[in-house]
Chains A and B, each alone.
Chain A
Amino acid sequence: MRRVANRDGGAFAGLFERHAPVTLGLLQRILGARGEAEEVLQEVFLQIWMQADRYDGARSTPRGWILMLARSRALDRLRRRESARRREEIVGEEAGEKVSPLGTERLESLEVKRQVSTALGSLSPDQRRCIELAFFEGLTHTQIAERLEAPLGTVKSRILLGMSKLRLALSAQA
């Protein structure tokens, strides 16, 4: 990331090849539409190229930083869209071409996926649903309560307990 901040085009290309597939996977999960996800992916990497010096290695991994940038942009875009319109756009969109990264990257990714799947498995379906609505759709407590037609207090509890379980499960695996 330091080399990218120093305008090293080769390092930037390497960063893209390593992290773009997962980033695009996240963007597509949030936005639904493949074309829009690719568009945001370009914006995210433009931002990385322009602002790589803002990356703080003490606070997150490069992948974590990139994914949070991507999530933030995708949720901004999602909030600008009308919910009904988004549903229409998703219908008929091609499902993304899913490929797995290669080599050790793939093994690492598979390991992370396994860990996260295990961690998510420790949540109740309700807790998992609330966290996914917040994380992938950017909904707040109140919006999740409306979407699920559940009491606001219940939603808050599910998220708090779900996040705590997630932390426990991940830390146990680490």
Chain B
Amino acid sequence: MSTPHTPRIEELLPAYALGALDGDDLRELEAHWLSGCEECRRQLALWQGELETLAAEVEPVQPSDVTRVRVLRLAGSDRAPAAPPRRTTPWWMAVAALLLLALALWGLLDQARMERQVRGLEAERERLSRQVNDLDRQVGLAREEARRAQQALQVLAAPGVQSVVLAGLGPSPGAKGRTYVNPSTRDALFYAFDLPPLPADKTYELWLIAAGKPVPAGTFDVDPRGTGTVRVERVTDASQIQAWAVTIEPRGGVPQPTGTMVLKG
């Protein structure tokens, strides 16, 4: 049953429209309202109109472009905003474009920097590779030198080693030579000093003389200081060696001496 629409009820409607009604006032109006008062509904709509006008009194605030895009995307109508035309390019797009440009430039610069680094590293690798090769060669030479020294030591430090001095002859009167023979192993070492370098088609050849016959014992060249060496393995019994000699022969050596003798002892 509908309660009567009294002036008291009408007084409550503006505050109800505002949402300010509470307590007993609210309960009183709702009890009446729920009974289906058409006048209340009409009055409330009028008050609502007043409030809508009040709401429009605020200062407009332009929504951000992010909000605009999100909202328009809801309806699949995220076309370029029709208003306001004051900003043709959204600030975030300009910032994004600048960032992309900066990234691209940075990328190019970085690429150039990396290419320079790669070239530098390649050159460094090349240099280190050459250095390693040099060191390998030096190590090889040092090992060879050590091996020779070891062999020489085995000859020179052997008990009963026999030594012969060779003197310069003919074109090399100041030259000297010395042989060492290990009687137990029959290995021999020969050192030459102060011999002049030879033309490319010539070589020095060492001979040992046994039973009146020359036996080839090896060829050698001299270094810039005039020093040369030959290691002879398994020579004839040392007691049978009558003499040692060095001649100048064609490169590669010959079975019988043909050239000038430069050392003998």
Contacts and interface: CB of A to CB of B under 8 A. Distances in A.
| Interface size grouping (class) on chain A | 35 or more
Contacts of B83: 17, 101-102
Interface string A124-143: 00000001001100111111
A-B complex: 8 closest residue pairs judged by Cβ atoms: A64-B52, A9-B77, A21-B60, A163-B14, A140-B22, A116-B57, A134-B20, A96-B61
Interface string B32-61: 000000000000011111111111111111
A77 B82 CA distance: 30
Interface of A: 7, 9-10, 12-14, 16-17, 20-22, 24-26, 28-29, 34, 37-38, 41-42, 45-46, 49, 59-61, 63-65, 67-68, 70-71, 75, 96-102, 109, 112-113, 115-117, 119-120, 131, 134-135, 138-144, 156, 159-160, 163-164, 166-167, 170
Given A64-B49, A140-B21, A160-B14, A38 B63 contact: yes
A24 B67 CA distance: 11
SS class, residues of chain A in contact with chain B: helix
A120 B57 contact: yes
B63 A100 contact: no
A139 B82 CA distance: 37
A138 B18 CA distance: 8
A16 B11 CA distance: 36
Interface residues of B, number: 47
A153 to B, nearest CB: 11
A102 B57 contact: no
